[in-house]
Amino acid sequence: MKDYTILPISAVKLFKPKDLYILTGMYLSAYSSRSSGDTISTNITQKQLAELTGVDEEYIRKRFMPRLKKSGFCNVECRQTDYTTKRNTYWLPNPKRNFRIIRSGLFRDSDLSSEEKSVLIGLYCNCINDTYRFDLSDVQMAERLGISRGTYLKYKKSLSAKGIICSGEEHSNLLDYEHPNALLLIYPHLGYDFQEYKETAGFIDPKIYPYWQTQV
């Protein structure tokens, strides 16, 4: 398994958080195999995907996979591996820009539920440009994610309690004066550089944000 994967930002327009999270797991298992580099492929099974993400295999089989195929996001090839077994290969878009970096540690993080991880990835895809900040209202963000406002607020609250979402009002040294009302994602398994998160997390009081006592 790779240390990190890209995830096209465009995927957030096609998939709700739970499916976006599963799709990220597919990307983590995918590798380049065509000379053009425009796609990467994976033949991860539904069982393997369930083990990686912690999402029920039945949900992946009955809900996610039909939606993935219907979306037209990727190409699917079914290959006969032996006399009795068929296996799908998924050809996923591999853009050179407009993507996010998700590190494999997110899938191993036992302090977050799969639902929290799903919303976190959705938030990251909606951040301003190449930052970790978002300044959409609760109603706007819920609409972007395709979930109810109540569901969004539930996970916004839990991620805030774990120190993953914070505001410039709480920590003036993190304030972005171009986006003074923006909220900030501080999580070690997003983006290229883990050291960047260590430095940022150095500003965070572990008494207020106990999540960082175990993660940094």
Whether 209 has a pLDDT exceeding 70, the answer reads no
Handedness of CA 51, 70, 120, 149 (dihedral sign): negative
Mean pLDDT, range 178-195, rounded to an integer? 79
Residue type, 152: Y
Question: What's the chain's average pLDDT?
Answer: 87
Distance CA 21, CA 115 (A): 9
pLDDT at 78 over 90: no
Poorest-pLDDT segment among 108-122, 147-161, 177-191: 177-191
**How many Cβ atoms are within 10 Å of 53's Cβ, its own excluded?**
24
pLDDT value at residue 87: 87
pLDDT for res 168: 65
Q: Mean per-residue pLDDT for 180-196?
A: 79
Q: Which of 33-42, 51-60, 157-166 has the highest mean pLDDT?
A: 51-60
> In angstroms, how far is CA 57 from the centroid of its own chain?
19
- Residue 70 pLDDT exceeds 90: yes
Q: For residue 62, with 0-12 CB atoms within 10 Å meaning exposed, 13-18 middle and 19 or more buried, which class applies?
A: exposed
Which tens digits make up the pLDDT trace of 135-161? Answer: 999 999 999 999 999 999 999 999 999
Sheet order of strands, 183-185 included: 133-134, 183-185, 165-167
| Cα 133 to Cα 101, 180, 182, 198, distances in angstroms | 15, 10, 6, 17
pLDDT value, residue 167: 81
Where do the domains of the chain lie, and which CATH numbers do they carry? 4-93 (1.10.10), 109-215 (1.10.10.10)
pLDDT tens for each residue of 167-182? 866 655 555 666 667 8
For residue 155, the model assigns a pLDDT of 98
**Structure confidence at residue 3 as a pLDDT band (50, 70, 90):** very high
Residue 85: predicted pLDDT: 79
pTM for the full predicted model: 0.87
Low-confidence winner among 61-65, 158-162, 197-201 (lowest mean pLDDT): 197-201
What does the pLDDT read at residue 153? 98
**Residue 34 in this model has a pLDDT that exceeds 80:** no
